[in-house]
C-alpha cells in the first residue's frame, strides 16, 4: 500500500471505544503519533458518553505494539485491529 | 465541604500524611483548607520541580504514593520534569494543580496553561475536573490508578471554582480497573528445567510490585546466576553469591558476558531498555526469552519473547519459589562458569594507596560503601557519579538506591533525598551528586534547612560535565564542547549561606575522615569532594553499539597511575 506522500508504509484499520472524557481524542492521537504512526482517516461517533472511533493509520512499525499501547490508556475500553497482521511483532525473536 | 476540603478528607482516608507543594493563585483554596488541617504535613520546597522530585523520592524510598501540589501556569509547568521522571520510572504519584476558574479556561487568563494537553505523554492518566461533584470519585480513582498494575503519575487539574464549590457527593469506591490476568507458569518452569545456561534478569519492577522479598526467595531457591538493570540494583542483596551485577552500557563484563552466553533469559520486572541491552541485534544471541511483567504493552515491544507472562510479580515469584525449592535446577557447571566471570569480570577499581594522590570517583564510592550503615539510602543524580554508585556501592535493597533511570534527570538527587528522608526519618540519607547536577536544584538546600533534615550532601566535583566530556573524548575525537565548569561557585561557602555546615576534601588521605565526619554529624552537612577531572567510567559501550563491544581501560588507567605515583 502506498501513502499519499509516496511512502510504502502499510495501512491498518483500528476501531477503538473509549470514555468521552476531557482530552480523550488528543490522548489517543498522541499515542498514535508517538508510537510511530500517522492517521490517514478518522471517524468518530459519540453515544451516551462513549466514543467509537474508526482509525486508519499508516506506519512501518508493528501495529500490535500500537494496539497494546492504546489498550493501556485508562479510558480505552476496547481496541480492535481489523486489518489482519501476518508478520511477527517485534524486531527480533529471542 | 468544599472541593479543597474534599481533597484533604481523601488524603486522610488514604493515609496520605506527607505532601510536597508550592502555593499560588489558583491553588489557594487548598492552601486555605490546609491551615485548619493537622493531619497532613505539607512540605514547602523552593521550586515546583523540587516538589515533584521530592514526592518521587518519597515514593521510591517508602513504597507509598508520592503527592505533589502546585498552582496553575508556571507552577504546573515547573512540575513537568519531575512528573516525566516519575512516568519514565513508573513511580506512583498523585499530582494536583490549580487551574484558572472554569469560566476563564480558554481565554488566555493570567497563569493559564493547558496543563492537561501539555502533559498527556508523561502521565499514566489525567483529569480536568469539571464540577465539584466529580471530584471525590476522581480523587479515589486517581489514587488507586497511580499505585495499581504498573504504577505511574496521575495528574488532576482542578479549576479554582471547583476547589471552592460545595459538594455533598461522597466517594462511591467505584473501580474501573481491569483485573490482572492470572498466569499459567507451567511453560516457564518447563523451559527453565530444560535450559543448560539460564540467567535471571531483573529490574525496577520488583520493588514497584513490592516483591522484594519474594524475589530474594526465588533467586536463592533457584540459584540462578543473576544480572540486574540500573533500577534492579539491590534486588539480589549485597550478599548474593549469584549476582553478576549491572548489565548494559556501563555494566560489568561478567554480566554482559553471561547475557551473551546464556541459553535462556528470564526477564522479570524489566523493560529491556536500550541502555541495558545495547544494540538489539547482538543481545543475548543464544537465548530464548521469558518475559514476566505487570505491563502487557512491554511484551514483545523490543524483543519477541518465546513466552510472555503478564501478572502480579509477587504471586508469580512465590509460585516459582515453591517449584524450585522442591526440585532445584541442575546447572552447577553454568553456575561455576558464572562464578569465574564474577571473580574476573566484576567492576574493577584500585583503591588509592598514595595518601597525597587526587581522589578518584570509584575509590571514593567504594570507601563510602564500606563505611556507610547498611540501611543507608542514596539518592544520586545523573552522570559519572551515578554510574560509579551503580557499579561500586553495595546495596542491600532496591529502595536504598534512588536513581533517575528512564529520564536521566540532572537535579533529581537533592529533592529525592529530601523525599526519602521524610519517608525514612531515622535512616541515613545521602545525596551523592556531581557539580553539574547539584546546581540544577541547589535551592532545595533551603528546604533541608527549613525542616532540619539530616540529609548529607556529597558533591563529587570534577569541574566539568564528566559524562559528556567522557563521550566527547571517546566518540567525538576529544573535541570538548561546553563541558567546562571550572568557574563553579565555592560549594562550601554556598552551603554555609544556607546554614548547612560543609567541608572540602581533595586528597586520598582525607577520604575516610571526611566520610566519617559527615555521617557522624547530627544534622545536614555537605562534603565537597574534589576529584580528578579526566577520570572515565569503565567499562563503556558506545551508544548504539553492542554490549559485546565494551571498552574497558580500567586496568590500563590503574597501571598508568601506579607509574605516575612511582
Answer yes or no: do B12 and B89 share one domain. yes
Q: How many residues does chain B have?
A: 566
* Residue A92 domain-assigned (yes or no): no
* Residue B177 domain-assigned (yes or no): no
First to last CA, chain A: 30
Choose, out of B87, B302, B310, the residue to mutate when testing the contact with A (most A CBs < 10 Å). Answer: B302
What CATH code is carried by the domain that includes residue B264? 3.40.50.1220
HSE on the CB side for B363, CA within 13 Å? 24
In the predicted structure, residue A67 carries a pLDDT above the cut 70:
yes
* Residue A88 domain-assigned (yes or no): no
Average pLDDT over residues B227-248: 96
CB B97, CB B71: distance < 8 Å: yes
Answer yes or no: do B326 and B409 share one domain. no
Q: How many domains does chain A fold into?
A: 1
What range does the domain containing B494 cover? Answer: 361-537
* Residue B176 domain-assigned (yes or no): no
**Set of chain A residues whose Cβ sits within 8 Å of the Cβ of B305:** 94
* Residue B470 domain-assigned (yes or no): yes
The grid coordinates listed for B240 are 548474593
Answer yes or no: do B140 and B108 share one domain. yes
In whole angstroms, give the CA distance from residue B520 to residue B506: 20
Q: What is the ipTM of this complex?
A: 0.88
In whole angstroms, give the CA distance from residue B477 to residue B411: 28
In the predicted structure, residue B391 carries a pLDDT above the cut 70:
yes
Confidence (pLDDT) at B170: 74
Confidence (pLDDT) at A6: 46
- Say if B176 is an interface residue toward chain A (CB within 8 Å): yes
Confidence (pLDDT) at B563: 45
Q: Which helix (H) or strand (E) holds B215?
A: helix B212-222
Q: Which helix (H) or strand (E) holds B310?
A: strand B307-310
**Digit-coded pLDDT (tens) for A12-49:** 999 999 999 999 999 999 999 999 999 999 999 999 99
Kindly report the nearest CA distance between residue B304 and chain A, in angstroms.
4
What CATH code is carried by the domain that includes residue B451? 3.40.50.970
What range does the domain containing A68 cover? Answer: 11-81
Answer yes or no: do B333 and B404 share one domain. no
Confidence (pLDDT) at A83: 77
Closest Cβ opposite residue B117 in set A26, A62, A71: A26
**Digit-coded pLDDT (tens) for B448-497:** 999 999 999 999 999 999 999 999 999 999 999 999 999 999 999 999 99
* Residue B108 domain-assigned (yes or no): yes
Contact: B121, A34; criterion CB under 8 Å: yes
What CATH code is carried by the domain that includes residue A26? 3.30.70.260
Q: How many domains does chain B fold into?
A: 3
In whole angstroms, give the CA distance from residue B316 to residue B296: 15
In the predicted structure, residue B225 carries a pLDDT above the cut 70:
yes
* Residue A5 domain-assigned (yes or no): no
Answer yes or no: do B327 and B385 share one domain. no
* Residue B259 domain-assigned (yes or no): yes
Answer yes or no: do B39 and B110 share one domain. yes
Which chain A residues have any C-beta within 8 angstroms of a chain B C-beta? 21-23, 26-27, 30, 34, 62, 64-65, 68-69, 71-75, 88-94
**Digit-coded pLDDT (tens) for B152-208:** 999 999 999 999 999 887 766 555 445 445 578 999 999 999 999 999 999 999 999
Answer yes or no: do B192 and B143 share one domain. no
Answer yes or no: do B490 and B383 share one domain. yes
Answer yes or no: do B387 and B529 share one domain. yes
* Residue A75 domain-assigned (yes or no): yes
Mean pLDDT of chain B: 94
Amino acid at each position: 500500500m502506498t501513502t499519499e506522500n509516496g511512502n510504502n508504509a502499510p495501512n491498518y484499520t483500528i476501531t477503538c471505544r473509549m470514555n468521552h472524557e476531557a482530552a480523550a481524542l488528543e490522548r489517543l492521537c498522541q499515542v498514535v503519533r508517538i508510537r510511530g504512526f500517522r492517521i490517514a482517516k478518522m471517524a468518530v461517533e459519540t453515544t451516551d458518553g462513549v466514543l467509537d472511533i474508526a482509525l486508519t493509520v499508516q506506519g512501518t512499525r508493528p501495529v500490535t505494539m500500537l494496539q497494546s499501547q492504546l489498550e493501556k490508556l485508562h479510558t480505552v475500553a476496547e481496541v480492535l485491529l481489523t486489518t489482519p497482521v501476518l508478520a511477527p511483532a517485534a524486531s527480533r525473536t529471542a | 465541604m468544599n472541593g479543597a476540603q474534599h481533597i484533604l478528607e481523601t488524603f486522610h482516608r488514604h493515609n496520605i500524611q506527607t505532601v510536597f507543594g508550592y502555593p499560588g493563585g489558583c491553588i489557594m483554596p487548598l492552601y486555605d483548607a490546609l491551615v485548619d488541617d493537622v493531619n497532613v504535613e505539607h512540605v514547602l520546597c523552593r521550586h515546583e520541580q523540587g516538589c515533584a522530585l521530592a514526592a518521587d523520592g518519597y515514593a521510591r524510598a517508602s513504597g507509598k504514593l508520592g503527592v505533589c501540589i502546585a498552582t496553575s501556569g508556571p507552577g504546573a509547568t515547573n512540575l513537568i520534569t519531575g512528573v516525566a521522571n516519575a512516568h519514565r520510572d513508573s513511580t506512583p504519584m498523585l499530582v494536583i494543580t490549580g487551574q484558572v476558574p472554569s469560566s476563564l479556561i480558554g481565554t488566555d487568563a493570567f497563569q493559564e496553561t493547558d496543563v492537561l494537553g501539555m502533559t498527556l505523554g508523561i502521565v499514566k492518566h489525567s483529569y480536568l475536573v469539571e464540577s465539584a461533584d466529580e471530584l471525590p470519585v476522581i480523587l479515589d480513582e486517581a489514587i488507586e490508578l497511580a499505585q495499581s498494575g504498573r504504577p505511574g503519575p496521575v495528574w488532576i487539574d482542578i479549576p479554582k471554582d471547583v476547589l471552592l464549590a460545595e459538594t455533598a457527593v461522597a466517594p462511591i469506591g467505584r473501580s474501573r480497573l481491569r483485573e490482572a490476568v492470572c498466569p499459567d507458569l507451567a511453560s516457564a518452569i518447563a523451559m527453565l528445567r530444560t535450559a543448560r545456561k539460564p540467567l535471571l534478569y531483573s529490574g525496577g519492577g520488583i520493588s514497584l510490585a513490592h516483591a522484594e522479598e519474594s524475589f530474594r526467595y526465588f533467586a536463592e531457591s533457584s540459584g540462578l546466576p543473576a544480572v540486574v538493570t540500573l533500577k534492579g540494583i539491590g534486588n539480589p542483596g549485597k550478599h548474593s553469591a549469584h549476582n553478576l551485577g549491572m548489565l548494559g552500557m556501563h555494566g560489568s563484563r561478567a554480566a554482559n558476558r553471561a547475557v551473551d552466553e546464556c541459553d535462556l533469559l528470564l526477564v522479570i520486572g524489566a523493560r529491556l531498555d536500550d541502555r541495558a541491552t545495547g544494540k538489539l541485534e547482538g543481545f543475548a544471541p543464544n537465548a530464548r526469552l521469558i518475559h514476566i511483567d505487570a505491563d502487557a504493552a512491554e511484551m514483545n515491544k523490543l524483543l519477541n519473547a518465546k513466552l510472555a507472562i503478564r501478572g502480579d510479580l509477587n504471586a508469580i515469584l512465590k509460585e516459582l519459589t515453591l517449584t524450585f525449592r522442591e526440585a532445584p535446577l541442575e546447572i552447577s557447571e553454568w553456575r561455576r562458569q558464572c562464578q569465574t566471570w564474577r571473580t574476573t569480570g566484576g567492576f574493577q577499581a584500585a583503591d588509592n594507596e598514595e595518601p597525597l594522590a587526587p581522589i578518584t570517583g570509584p575509590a571514593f564510592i567504594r570507601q563510602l560503601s564500606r563505611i556507610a550503615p547498611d540501611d543507608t539510602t542514596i539518592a544520586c543524580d545523573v552522570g559519572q557519579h551515578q554510574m560509579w554508585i551503580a557499579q561500586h556501592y553495595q546495596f542491600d535493597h532496591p529502595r536504598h538506591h534512588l536513581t533517575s533511570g528512564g529520564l536521566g534527570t540532572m537535579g533529581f538527587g537533592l529533592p529525592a533525598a529530601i523525599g526519602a528522608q521524610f519517608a525514612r526519618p531515622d535512616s541515613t540519607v545521602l545525596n551523592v551528586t556531581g557539580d553539574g547536577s547539584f546546581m540544577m536544584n541547589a535551592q532545595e538546600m533551603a528546604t533541608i534547612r527549613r525542616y532540619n533534615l539530616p540529609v548529607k550532601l556529597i558533591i563529587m566535583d570534577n569541574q566539568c560535565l564528566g559524562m559528556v566530556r567522557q563521550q566527547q573524548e571517546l566518540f567525538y575525537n576529544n573535541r570538548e564542547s561546553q563541558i567546562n565548569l571550572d568557574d563553579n561557585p565555592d560549594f562550601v561557602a554556598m552551603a554555609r549561606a544556607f546554614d548547612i555546615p560543609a567541608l572540602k576534601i581533595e586528597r586520598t588521605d582525607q577520604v575516610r575522615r571526611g566520610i566519617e565526619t559527615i555521617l557522624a554529624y547530627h544534622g545536614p552537612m555537605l562534603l565537597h569532594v574534589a576529584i580528578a577531572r579526566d577520570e572515565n567510567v569503565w567499562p563503556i559501550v558506545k551508544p548504539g553499539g553492542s554490549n559485546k563491544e565494551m571498552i574497558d581501560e580500567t586496568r590500563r588507567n590503574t597501571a598508568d597511575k601506579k607509574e605516575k605515583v612511582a
